[in-house]
Amino acid sequence: MPIKTPKLPKVKSMDSNLMLLNSLLERAIEYWKTSFELLKLKALEKVTGVISSILTDLLFYVIITVFMVFLSMGFSFWLGEILGKIFYGFFIVAAFYGVLALFIHVFMRKLVSRILGNYVVKKILK
């Protein structure tokens, strides 16, 4: 019975190993570049979403503020006409806003802070 010699694996040349390693390195670099670009685009999408949402809300609040200013002025003139002196109406409306601000500051500051904080977090995580 003849003795069989085991087959040895083919030894690749050093050049083919270097070419394979070089190809693998190029693919890894391309993968990293693509992943980085994707990360930048996702971050850009989040930032633009948050900014556009905040700007839309800001425009809404500016319009509401202008509405409230004109409403307050109208109410002040109306009260002033009833009381006989225009500035009395402005004093009463100013006192109302002062008392309202004091009430919010003393009793509702934590609640307002929590609501505003949650609003900002929702906008960022959306």
The single-letter DSSP state of residue 1 is -
In a domain, 14, yes or no: no
Map residue 85 onto helix, strand or coil. Answer: coil
Q: Give the domain extent around 51.
A: 46-125
pLDDT reported for residue 32: 94
Q: Which residue, chain included where needed, has tokens 């948050």?
A: 50
In a domain, 11, yes or no: no
How many structural domains comprise the chain? 1
In a domain, 23, yes or no: no
- Range of weakest confidence among 36-40, 87-91, 121-125: 121-125
The single-letter DSSP state of residue 3 is P
Check: CB of residue 126 under 8 Å from CB of residue 49.
Answer: yes
pLDDT reported for residue 94: 96
In a domain, 82, yes or no: yes
Average pLDDT score, the chain: 87
Check: CB of residue 88 under 8 Å from CB of residue 76.
Answer: no
Q: Which residue, chain included where needed, has tokens 């929590």?
A: 114
- Decide: pTM greater than 0.85: no
In a domain, 98, yes or no: yes
Distance CA 39, CA 61 (A): 33
Residue 11 has pLDDT above 60, yes or no: no
Top-confidence residue, 113 or 5? 113
Residue 91, Cβ neighbours under 10 Å: how many?
14
In a domain, 39, yes or no: no
In a domain, 76, yes or no: yes
In a domain, 120, yes or no: yes
Check: CB of residue 69 under 8 Å from CB of residue 85.
Answer: no
- In this prediction, residues 114-125 reach a mean pLDDT of 81
